[in-house]
Amino acid sequence: MLVDGDLTKQFLYEALSRGKREWELTFDAVPDLIFITDTQHTITRANRAMADRLGMRPSELPGRKCYDLFHEIGQAPDTCPFLKLLQEGEAPNVEMEEQHLGGFFEISVSPLYNELGEITACVHVARDVTERKKAEEYRLALEQQLQQTQRLESLGVLSGGIAHDFNNILTIILGHCAMARTASSDQVKQHLEQIELAGNRAADLCRQMLNYAGKSPLVQTEIDLSVQVREVVSMLQPAFKKKVSFRYLIEPDIPLIKGDQGQVQQIIMNLVVNAVEAIGDRKGTVGIALSEHPIGADEADRDVFGNQIPPGSYVCLEVNDDGCGMSDETRQRLFEPFFTTKFTGRGLGMSATMGIIKGHSGALQLASAPGAGSTFKIFFPTCPATDLPRGAVSDAKPPRPSLEPLQGTILLVDDEPELRQLGTVLLNGLGLRVMTARNGREALDVYRQHSQEIDLVLMDLTMPEMDGVEAYQELRRETTSLPILFCSGYGKKEVSPFIDSDPRAAFLAKPYHPGLMRESLARLLSRSGVDS
């Protein structure tokens, strides 16, 4: 017969056993991967989800090192949150790829203490976020695709303006060529100067188009928004109806911003094109304003989604129109992917534009009503103060050609015979001996026959049979010391992955100035030990 004390003990024992079973059932029911380790990274307990993910039984995990199963084999990595906890007393959640488990995990750790307040063990909780990562990657890929689609759509609007500008430039060039035929020697020089100025205008127009079309690599540079606004609008304006007028309100000495020039141009272009489309066939005005706009910590400026804009120094780009305006429903859906309202303007996807703004840590505000037009305000964070004079990069002139001749033999590779002929004359004028090839495959044959003579390869990027990138890769398999200078009418984007890490390779954009060509050649030849 059990006495009261024995009944109490039995009740407590059963309660403890029941609590333990419930805890174990709960521990094993959690879908997250949970394991407990001591201070030597030895697993003392693991739940069923952890064991199943490793293809093991829960009883097989205790005694194993966590980094043998969960991290790099044989070592505890520096990113281990438990190490941070032991060394620094706290450990933020970390996200890492676990090769052994085939996915990305968000890992959090919680310490277990003894009666002296010392850490004796640690509970690790690893949540599988692989699907979330895939969704993020898909979203980014979709956003990039939307941006490219948007570029192509707006380039259709732009084509009329580009044709207009190029026809004007060609008229200048052909007119001065015709006049130079019957002019005196002094007048010929003046005509040639005008032809050179027109050629530089055409080259600058091509540079802007390559930037906008995404043919240049994404590069974070200091940007003068006032220059970009005037460049983009002047490029677009010939394509617009004469009924639309532009009103500028640009403050002097606007601070520089940091960003990718091509993407910033895309924002300006999209807002301006959409404003013109919103006006339609009637008379109207597009206003463009630029101002310095600091936001204090106690101010409550909010973006179009209701989020507070972080305090700081900003440049505000405002584009407004007196067009059709937007309804509440349109404003709410404006930033959805693929949403368009072509019949009322705003036809170019604002979703892609918003993605670029976020990528530049910027913010957007919108005010619009049916029949009352629309106002977009973009806030770009400003750059820290710099010693570089304003406009130093964009206004820089090509260096004057040095009279001192270079020395060496150049292999000139280009599929255009006229460019091979012109390049040979220019290179000979710099004091260099020239061999030529029509494409990458022919260049390889010439180099293999004359490898001891050739000091540098000057090569076009796009050629039949074998292009410049393929030829570069083949040449690099044979020699890493041969200087290679790419020269192309396209941007540097295609060759950046190769030449950015190659000290004996460089890029020169067509059309090139003889002074810039000489400077690039001299720099590469000096690296190869050729006396220039």
Domain ranges of the chain: 22-128, 136-381, 409-527
Asked whether the beta carbons of 37 and 122 are under 8 A apart, the reply is yes
Mean pLDDT of 224-235: 85
- Does 136-381 match 22-128 at the fold level? no
Q: What is the pLDDT of residue 92?
A: 63
Phi, psi dihedrals of residue 50, rounded to the nearest 5°: -65, -45
- CA dist 107 and 94 (Å) reads 5
- What is the chain's mean pLDDT, rounded? 77
Is the pLDDT at 528 greater than 70? The verdict is no
CATH 3.30.450.20 applies to domain 22-128:
yes
Query: Which CATH class for the 136-381 domain?
Result: alpha beta
Is the pLDDT at 214 greater than 60? The verdict is no
Q: What is the pLDDT of residue 343?
A: 42
Q: What is the pLDDT of residue 27?
A: 67
Comparing 347 with 525, which gets the higher pLDDT?
A: 525
**Banded model confidence at residue 209, pLDDT cuts 50, 70, 90:** low
Q: What is the pLDDT of residue 396?
A: 42
Output the pTM of the full model.
Answer: 0.47
For 383-427, the three-class secondary structure string (H helix, E strand, C coil) is CCCCCCCCCCCCCCCCCCCCCCCCCCEEEEECCCHHHHHHHHHHH
- CA dist 310 and 45 (Å) reads 45
Q: What is the pLDDT of residue 75?
A: 44
Q: Mean pLDDT highest for which of 69-73, 88-92, 250-254, 491-495?
A: 250-254
Distance from the Cα of residue 413 to its chain's centroid: 31
Comparing 488 with 375, which gets the higher pLDDT?
A: 375
Q: What is the pLDDT of residue 33?
A: 80
Asked whether the beta carbons of 140 and 146 are under 8 A apart, the reply is no
Is the preceding omega at residue 111 within 30 degrees of 0, hence cis?
Answer: no
Is the pLDDT at 397 greater than 50? The verdict is no
Burial 410-449 (b: 16+ CB within 10 A, else e): bbbbbbeeeebeebbebbeebebebbbbbbbbbbbebbee
Q: Mean pLDDT highest for which of 241-250, 287-296, 348-357, 411-420?
A: 287-296
Q: What is the pLDDT of residue 390?
A: 43
**Banded model confidence at residue 378, pLDDT cuts 50, 70, 90:** very high
Is the pLDDT at 525 greater than 80? The verdict is yes
Is the pLDDT at 442 greater than 90? The verdict is yes
Q: What is the pLDDT of residue 146?
A: 65
Q: Mean pLDDT highest for which of 177-186, 308-317, 336-345?
A: 308-317
- CA dist 264 and 528 (Å) reads 39
Q: Which residues are within 8 A (CB) of 370 and not within 5 positions of it... i.e. 6 or more apart?
A: 324, 325, 326, 327
- CA dist 303 and 280 (Å) reads 28
Q: Give the residue carrying structure tokens 């990718």.
A: 260
Copy the structure tokens of residue 108.
């959090």
Comparing 471 with 212, which gets the higher pLDDT?
A: 471
**Banded model confidence at residue 336, pLDDT cuts 50, 70, 90:** low
Query: Which CATH class for the 409-527 domain?
Result: alpha beta
Mean pLDDT of 78-93: 64
Q: Which residues are within 8 A (CB) of 330 and not within 5 positions of it... i.e. 6 or more apart?
A: 341, 344, 346
Asked whether the beta carbons of 287 and 347 are under 8 A apart, the reply is no
Comparing 424 with 139, which gets the higher pLDDT?
A: 424
Is the pLDDT at 314 greater than 70? The verdict is yes
Comparing 475 with 56, which gets the higher pLDDT?
A: 475
**Banded model confidence at residue 176, pLDDT cuts 50, 70, 90:** confident
Phi-psi sector, 36: left (phi>0), alpha (psi -120 to 50), beta: beta
Percentage of the chain exceeding pLDDT 70: 73
